[in-house]
Chains A and B, each alone.
Chain A
Amino acid sequence: MTFLAPLLLTLAAFAGVPLLVHLLRRRVTRRVEFPAVRFLLQTQREHSRERAVRNRLLLLLRLLAVLALVAAAARPMASLGGTGHPPLAVAIVLDQSMSTRAVIDGSTMLSRLQQAAQSVTSQLSADDRAWLVTNGGMVVAGDGATLNREIAELQPLAGAGDLSGAVRRAAALVAAGAPRTPVVVVLTDGQHAALDTAITVNNTAVVVHAPVVTIPPNRVVHDVQVEPARWVPGGRLVISLSAPDSAAWRVVLGDRTVSRGVAPASEFSSPQQITVVAQAEDSGWLAGRVEMDADDFPGNDARAFAVLSGAPPSVVVQPSAGPFVDAAVDVLVSDGRLRRSASPSGASVVITSAVDEVSRASLRLAPLDPLQIVSANRALERAGIPWRFGAVRRDTVLVDDALQNAQPQPSAHLSGTRVTMRYRLDRVATSASADSGVVLATAGGQPWIVAGSNYVLIGSPLHVAATNAPVLAAFVPWLRDVVTQRLSDGATLAAAAPNDTIAMPVQADSLRFPDGTQIPLGSGRLVVPEATGVYLFRRDARTVGALVVNAEVEESDVAAWGGDIWKDRIAGSDVQLEPRAANVAEAVFDRSGGRSLTWPLVLLASLALVAEALIARGVFAPRTSHPVHA
């Protein structure tokens, strides 16, 4: 037997009250003159044994009543007897991802899941503990009525959310509800991308409800690539889309439709590629959108993109940067992506050795000569850059620049680049408000390329004596991205899914929403807004970057809807798949475990009190039949 409120067992001390009363009553102070004491003595003589038994029985019944009430207050559970369903610690994980917007037989998938959730919450008892956990990050604890209201107010997310995290959180919550039987109810559309990692729940019972439904036709805009990063003023949009039937599409840039067409039928796994050449009529950041005809799966038939339009950034390449960088800049200038500037003071970006003193945004390269490291570090200190060159290493290592914390993610990668000479990059302590920078690439597991708000620092010189990067095909696009997106003022472009948490891609003091509203930003990490669209980073009343928020394209993959996959992804001793919504509540409440003994104990206490009252009134005492009469 276990108790839900064991502290209340301390009230068992009240069981001593009847004993105390019994003892105190021995000290009688009231005296009454009564001539017929002889009858009283005779009564006591004749009934003393019977009276002693009766008094002990009364005492036992009173003790039993007190103890039963105390035990009932402690809300015991036992596997035998009891009433109601077993007290549960139940967490309802409700999938409100974008895919639950799908309309099936006239109602959305989310409303079906909400009904299934409410079938559980409506049967919760006072002994249960319950939580509502969503993949949108919401965690609410409360009784059935509270959770019912919260469930009814849920709306579909614009993205996938974090269902795996929600299930883990739910498992942790119900584990804290011991000694109640822990149960996690996962109510999901069964979209396979939602539960992206396997989860171990051990002994926690899990009921997964993924309704079996007919999947509606789905038109999806998979991706929109903007080439180049800066339009001067024109560029290309590479659009990926799929539709089970031929569907019309159109591209909207700013307030005007710049292109439209009809896409042939294609599978989700092999989307159509459409390239659109367009011109920007305004300079600066422009919000755009690719749309398809609406279907019963709203939310993924449109996708936002952002275009930066304007003159190419001007760049100065110092001789200390070496010939390879200079040659690569020549290529970018000839392609119209960059402009050369006559002097560093008029340039947007300066590419130089770290030894040189530079006050503008700069790409700084490690010196080829190790003797210059001291000068280089002094220059870094004066520039306020929180990184220093350490000892030189001359082993051969490979570069990894596919790091999750780098925003924006580079379109051209240097992963696999061989490095034969490098300096260790050490971060130094700075004030809290200073830009501590992020690691864009590692070599041999150590920082190799780091970046801040106005600098990019490389731990090797871009020379074939130190690395083969300058001779790789990806070098020129990489250099273009670094200069045009990361170092050019106001050119930072980040992409994320709704509700993601990302590193701040740029130093900004506020974020402007698509509807024009603006919210202040702190430093550190950014929680991406829920609504899709183009957001602008602002600093000192200037736009310094853009954030494009779109749903994960995997969320639109409905080909794998279904529940069977869930049993494999949730590792536990008691994982039950229940495809029928009507059976969800039964599956939840029919878990093994004890039932509440509260009411049986209250009944026992009541019976003891009734018996005590009857015995005290002498109902069971033998009576003589003849009355007193003259």
Chain B
Amino acid sequence: MEYAVQVATIPVLMPASRADLLDPSALAALGHLELVARWVVDGFLTGLHRSPRKGFSVEFAEHRPYQPGDDLRYLDWRIAARADRWVVKQFEEETNTRAMLVLDVSASMRWTGEAARLTKLAYAEHLLGALALLLLRQRDAVGLVRADDSLRSVVMPSTRTGQWFRLAAALAQPGGGTGTDLVPALSQAAHLVRRPGFVVLVSDLLVEPAPVIEQLRTIRARGHEVLVLHVLDPVERDFPEGAEAVFTDPESGASIAATPGEIRAEYQDTVRQALDEWRTGLLQVGARYALAMTDEPFGQALRALVRATGRGGMPIA
């Protein structure tokens, strides 16, 4: 009955606004992760113009005039002989990529700065669900690694029917330990993708950058594309309001007293520097970086993910 109600709600909701652009917490409250992911992907695709990448694959797309420097292998000799026109054949690029999604499920990810907002983990789960569905619809193999201070669950990449449900079930599993150690998870993910594919890391990156970046460098060296989605709660970016308090890290237990009004500006500077450090470090190893705030619509973050893939990334639609 509950499901029926949710389904009945969608037609009312969807014409007015696309699901991928709705408030994430409001949207997540409407249904299970699988359902929400579908709405997000549907809305996302509705908003895309069909702009296929043209490459030199097996599926013919169209001809275009020959330009000096074009590979002569793709010159259409028949037309050249028949009509004395020099054209080259273009093919719609068709990939069958293997993607591994790596999700940080540490204690810090299970935190939200505002009760009405999704935790970083919930936000990341919905976002990865949508991404996985998007990839699977393109016949790409998608796998999942969930990790905190150790590997919590692994779903092997596959394009088989039912893969989406396995992924959704894995994403819906409860979180794990308190610490964060992304290096083994990334290593595991890279090993599960045998030929060059891409690895998507979704985390709040509240770890030391150097080991992670070094591991990503190794992954990049094996030919994988790497995409890092940095999930932050707006309060982590701006610092909480209120009187002086002792702030405690749920993972390490470290605490410090501070007065928000006095330290906010400097804290925000520090956050900016940390983000810059991540962005710079990742770019240096050839990884892509995108920042997602948990109050942003899923579609916006999904679009950032797709945009960050670049030319060698995900062949969307």
What residues of chain A have their CB less than 8 Å away from a CB belonging to chain B?
A: 25, 28, 30-44, 46-47, 51, 616, 618, 621, 623-624, 626-630
Contact partner of A37 among B243, B249, B264, CB < 8 A?
A: B249
**Is the CB of B290 closer than 8 A to any CB of chain A?**
yes
Contact partner of A629 among B258, B274, B291, CB < 8 A?
A: B291
User: What chain A residues lie within 8 Å of B251 (beta carbons)?
Assistant: 35
Known A37-B252, A43-B269, A630-B304; 6 more pairs at CB < 8 Å: A31-B247, A32-B245, A32-B247, A37-B249, A39-B267, A40-B256
User: What chain B residues lie within 8 Å of A630 (beta carbons)?
Assistant: 290-293, 304
A30 with B270: CB separation less than 8 A: no
**Is the CB of B246 closer than 8 A to any CB of chain A?**
yes
**Is the CB of B250 closer than 8 A to any CB of chain A?**
yes
A618 with B265: CB separation less than 8 A: yes
**Is the CB of B187 closer than 8 A to any CB of chain A?**
no
User: What chain B residues lie within 8 Å of A40 (beta carbons)?
Assistant: 247, 256, 258, 263, 267, 270
**A623-B244 Cα distance, complex, nearest whole Å:** 22
**Is the CB of B268 closer than 8 A to any CB of chain A?**
yes
Contact partner of A28 among B236, B237, B254, B257, CB < 8 A?
A: B257
**Is the CB of B275 closer than 8 A to any CB of chain A?**
yes
Size category of the binding interface on chain B: 35 or more
A628 with B275: CB separation less than 8 A: yes
Contact partner of B244 among A28, A46, A624, CB < 8 A?
A: A28
**Is the CB of B179 closer than 8 A to any CB of chain A?**
no
A28 with B245: CB separation less than 8 A: yes
Residue picked from A36, A621, A624, most chain B C-beta under 10 Å: A36
Contact partner of B111 among A25, A33, A46, A47, CB < 8 A?
A: A33
**A234-B261 Cα distance, complex, nearest whole Å:** 106
**Chain A nearest CB: distance from B266 CB in Å?**
5
User: What chain B residues lie within 8 Å of A36 (beta carbons)?
Assistant: 206, 236, 271
Contact partner of B256 among A37, A47, A626, CB < 8 A?
A: A37
A31 with B245: CB separation less than 8 A: yes
**Is the CB of B240 closer than 8 A to any CB of chain A?**
yes
Task: Give a binary string over B283-311; 1 marks a CB under 8 Å from any A CB, 0 the rest.
Answer: 00000001111000000000010000000
Which residue of A is nearest B265, CB measured? A618
**Chain B nearest CB: distance from A240 CB in Å?**
92
**A576-B259 Cα distance, complex, nearest whole Å:** 65
B248 with A621: CB separation less than 8 A: no
User: What chain A residues lie within 8 Å of B206 (beta carbons)?
Assistant: 35-36, 38
**Chain A nearest CB: distance from B311 CB in Å?**
20
Which residue of B is nearest A617, CB measured? B261
B248 with A30: CB separation less than 8 A: no
Instruction: Using known A-B contacts A41-B256, A630-B291, A630-B293, determine if residue A34 contacts B240 with beta carbons closer than 8 Å.
Output: yes
Contact partner of A621 among B266, B290, B293, CB < 8 A?
A: B266
A47 with B236: CB separation less than 8 A: no
Q: Which 8 A-B pairs have the closest CB atoms?
A: A35-B108, A37-B249, A30-B245, A630-B291, A34-B247, A36-B236, A43-B270, A32-B245
**A425-B282 Cα distance, complex, nearest whole Å:** 126
A30 with B243: CB separation less than 8 A: yes
Provide the main secondary structure of the chain B interface: mixed
Between-chain CB contacts (< 8 Å), 5 pairs: A31-B247, A34-B247, A618-B264, A623-B265, A630-B304
What residues of chain B have their CB less than 8 Å away from a CB belonging to chain A?
A: 107-108, 111, 204, 206, 236-237, 240, 242-252, 254-259, 261-276, 290-293, 304
Instruction: Using known A-B contacts A34-B249, A35-B204, determine if residue A628 contacts B256 with beta carbons closer than 8 Å.
Output: no
User: What chain B residues lie within 8 Å of A43 (beta carbons)?
Assistant: 263, 266-267, 269-270
B262 with A46: CB separation less than 8 A: no
Instruction: Using known A-B contacts A28-B244, A46-B270, A630-B291, determine if residue A37 contacts B254 with beta carbons closer than 8 Å.
Output: yes
A39 with B270: CB separation less than 8 A: yes
**Chain A nearest CB: distance from B296 CB in Å?**
8
Which residue of A is nearest B244, CB measured? A28
Count CB-based A-B contacts (< 8 Å).
Answer: 111
User: What chain A residues lie within 8 Å of B270 (beta carbons)?
Assistant: 39-40, 42-43, 46
**A119-B269 Cα distance, complex, nearest whole Å:** 64
**A616-B263 Cα distance, complex, nearest whole Å:** 10
**A51-B274 Cα distance, complex, nearest whole Å:** 20
**A47-B256 Cα distance, complex, nearest whole Å:** 14
Which residue of A is nearest B274, CB measured? A39
**Chain B nearest CB: distance from A447 CB in Å?**
89
**Chain A nearest CB: distance from B272 CB in Å?**
5
User: What chain B residues lie within 8 Å of A623 (beta carbons)?
Assistant: 265, 269
Which residue of B is nearest A54, CB measured? B262
User: What chain B residues lie within 8 Å of A39 (beta carbons)?
Assistant: 236, 267, 270-271, 274
**A618-B292 Cα distance, complex, nearest whole Å:** 28
**Chain A nearest CB: distance from B205 CB in Å?**
10
User: What chain A residues lie within 8 Å of B242 (beta carbons)?
Assistant: 30, 32
Which residue of A is nearest B111, CB measured? A35
Which residue of A is nearest B249, CB measured? A37
B236 with A37: CB separation less than 8 A: no
Residue picked from B204, B266, B268, most chain A C-beta under 10 Å: B266
User: What chain A residues lie within 8 Å of B265 (beta carbons)?
Assistant: 618, 621, 623
**A42-B268 Cα distance, complex, nearest whole Å:** 11
A30 with B246: CB separation less than 8 A: yes
**Chain A nearest CB: distance from B49 CB in Å?**
22
Contact partner of A41 among B254, B273, B293, CB < 8 A?
A: B254
User: What chain A residues lie within 8 Å of B293 (beta carbons)?
Assistant: 630
User: What chain A residues lie within 8 Å of B259 (beta carbons)?
Assistant: 25
User: What chain A residues lie within 8 Å of B291 (beta carbons)?
Assistant: 628-630
User: What chain A residues lie within 8 Å of B276 (beta carbons)?
Assistant: 626
User: What chain A residues lie within 8 Å of B107 (beta carbons)?
Assistant: 35
Residue picked from B204, B242, B249, B261, most chain A C-beta under 10 Å: B249
Contact partner of A624 among B245, B246, B269, CB < 8 A?
A: B269
Contact partner of A33 among B244, B248, B262, B268, CB < 8 A?
A: B248
B262 with A34: CB separation less than 8 A: no
A35 with B250: CB separation less than 8 A: yes
Contact partner of B272 among A33, A46, A618, A624, CB < 8 A?
A: A624
Residue picked from A39, A44, A46, A629, most chain B C-beta under 10 Å: A39
**A39-B235 Cα distance, complex, nearest whole Å:** 12
User: What chain B residues lie within 8 Å of A33 (beta carbons)?
Assistant: 111, 247-248, 250
User: What chain A residues lie within 8 Å of B273 (beta carbons)?
Assistant: 624
User: What chain B residues lie within 8 Å of A51 (beta carbons)?
Assistant: 262-263, 266
User: What chain B residues lie within 8 Å of A30 (beta carbons)?
Assistant: 242-246
**A220-B179 Cα distance, complex, nearest whole Å:** 116
Which residue of A is nearest B275, CB measured? A628
User: What chain A residues lie within 8 Å of B237 (beta carbons)?
Assistant: 628
**Chain B nearest CB: distance from A35 CB in Å?**
4
User: What chain B residues lie within 8 Å of A25 (beta carbons)?
Assistant: 244, 259
B272 with A626: CB separation less than 8 A: yes
User: What chain B residues lie within 8 Å of A621 (beta carbons)?
Assistant: 265-266
User: What chain B residues lie within 8 Å of A31 (beta carbons)?
Assistant: 245-248, 255
User: What chain A residues lie within 8 Å of B264 (beta carbons)?
Assistant: 618
**A35-B276 Cα distance, complex, nearest whole Å:** 19
**A46-B111 Cα distance, complex, nearest whole Å:** 26
**A624-B276 Cα distance, complex, nearest whole Å:** 12
User: What chain A residues lie within 8 Å of B290 (beta carbons)?
Assistant: 630
User: What chain A residues lie within 8 Å of B236 (beta carbons)?
Assistant: 34-36, 39
**A39-B272 Cα distance, complex, nearest whole Å:** 10
User: What chain A residues lie within 8 Å of B256 (beta carbons)?
Assistant: 37, 40-41, 44
**Chain A nearest CB: distance from B149 CB in Å?**
14
